[in-house]
Structures are given as C-alpha cells and as structure tokens.
Amino acid sequence: MSPKIFVTQPIPDNALARLRGVAEVELNPDSLHIVTKPELLAALKRNEYLFCLLHDTVDAEVINASPNLKLIASMAIIPAAIDVAAATARRIPVTTIPPVVTEATADLHWALLLAVARRVVEADRALRSGLFPGGQSMRFVGSEVHGKTLGIIGLGAIGEAVARRARGFGMRILYTKRHRLDEGQETALGVEYRSLDDLLRESDFVSINAALNPETVHLISHRAFALMRPSAYLVNTARGTIVDEKALVRALEEKRIAGAALDVYEREPMVEPGLINLPNVVLTPHLGSAALETRERMAGIVVENVVAVIEGRRPPNLFNPEIYSS
C-alpha cells in the first residue's frame, strides 16, 4: 500500500511530480486558501505524512488527533507554527529547510525600499486611473536612494545580502546587532557599527533584518519612531512582531517618518487596518521567498525529507533529532 501525503497548498510542479512518484498525494489546489483546522484534521485521518507551509498551524490538538501521522515536513526554516513538543512526545519527526531564502528575500527588501522611496506604487495606481502629471511634475516626487545612509538592524545572512546590494547604490551602511563584528569583517562588508539609538538617528532608511526573539518583539515602537528622521523610511522583511504596527500607523499619520514598506505583519494574515489606506506605505503579502527558483529549491528540500522518512532513513533536515535517540 502506497504512503499517503497531504500537501496544504500548491507547490512547484517538479517537487509535486517527485512526491507523486513515491506516494499518493492529496493536494489543496487553492493557493489563496489556508487550510482550516477542521480541514487539516480531516485530511490527516486520510494521510500519514504532512507537507505544510510557513502559514500552516499544526498544534497539539491536530497532532494528537492524528494517530497515523508519521511526519510533519515543514517548508519553514523555523517551525514556529508547529507544536514540536507534541510531535516529539509521539516520536514524530518534524523537518524544516535550511536558510536558502537569503538572496530572494534581500531582492524583495530592495524592491520595497525603492518602491516606497520613489513612490512607485502610488504612481502606478495614478497612471492606471488616467493621471499623467508630466515628466517634471512635483506630484510624485520621492527620495533619492543613491548616496544615502542605510541602517541595518540585524546583520545576519539576509542583512549582509542587503548590505552588499547597498554598496551598489553608493550608500553609507550602518548596522547594529547583539554581537559586534570584528574590524576585519566590518571592513570587508563596508559597514559601520552603531548602537540602535544612534542608527535610528542617523539613517535615511532603516532596514529590519533581525531574528524574532523576546528582545526584538516591538523593538521598533513609539520610542524608535521618535528617534528617526522625519525624512526616513522603514523597511521590514524580517518578522512582523518586531514592529509595533499601531505605533507605526501613528508615526506615519503624524509624519514623524516619511514612509514604510512591509512584507511581514504582527498578526498574519491580518494587517493593521490603519496601514491599508496610507499612501506612503508599500505592502506585500509575505513574498520574501516568492521567486520560482527559490521555491523550487525549498520544495525540493522538503521532498528529500519526506522521501527519507518513507524509505526508513533519518531525514536530512530534522528539527527534533532526540526522537532518534535510544
């Protein structure tokens, strides 16, 4: 009897074809529909393996109500929406993917930065509505990017990728992180260290690339916005809860900062209502990894994890290795 796997949303065709070569696949075909808990519970009564995405919640109730569940294969780097402890208690492997989204996320970060600085979204909407104010009109004047100061909060892999791109724009690059780099690393990257407060004061663009932990929840709130320049922009492609969205709305409405560009939100898929109609905000629905080549790599890694478990092998990207201890 063939293994049975449930895939919670469409994935790249090559990954899906490989899955179908080793198992019977049940797929939610709607890329706009996030499976509900009742739907997930029902699907796991019919299937032994779960291929889930970043936005899927797999809690203890789902895990404990699925007696035949043999694997939770997540396409996330950190399985924050999975109750790993509940899975471990039942010796169910939870697999993830390595951080292969760095360059795609940095690309999107720059797309957002440029879009908000040069008012691309506003201008696009205006043109489609029939407004063409003229090639030298002041109507959509924005901010230059070249030669400005970029302040990066969190200089991990994605932060470094953002910094590399900033050098092409001739920018002065500041950074802050928990552990300062040594002088050689700073020179190689072309970055200057600042405390968070000084970075906020000096930057024309504040780029959030920090990891989410108790110290970074609402790291950017009323106090941070008070320190930023009125001409500064905020860009966040890291985690939504690093930014206090209500404080951000207030800062934008009161013109304490010039604009913001966001790909992540505090309560995804919900977005703070006050952000929706602000013209100086660019919003995208968590598209950091949404490049076909990146998604193909991600899905391929998940398939490798699934195939390993089906074949009785330890999966290569195991998040709870203790289940294999004696």
The two structure tokens encoding residue 198:
């000084």
Question: Of 186, 286, 296, 304, which residue is the catalytic one?
Answer: 286
Alpha-carbon distances, residue 94 vs 50, 140, 234, 304 (angstroms): 10, 49, 35, 13
Element of type H or E holding 245: helix 245-253
Question: Of 239, 256, 295, 297, which residue is the catalytic one?
Answer: 239
**8 A C-beta contact, residue 140 and residue 125:** no
Helix (H, G, I), strand (E, B) or coil at 125: helix
Element of type H or E holding 71: strand 71-74
Check if 202 is active-site. no
Please state, in angstroms and rounded to a whole number, the distance separating the CA atoms of residues 225 and 156.
23
Return the amino acid letter for 208.
I
Helix (H, G, I), strand (E, B) or coil at 260: strand
Check if 268 is active-site. yes
- Whether the CA torsion 73, 288, 207, 263 is positive or negative: it is negative
Biggest distance spanned by C-alpha atoms of the chain: 73
Check if 109 is active-site. no
Residues 6+ apart with CB under 8 A from 193: 174, 175, 176, 180, 181, 186
Residues with active-site annotation: 239, 268, 286
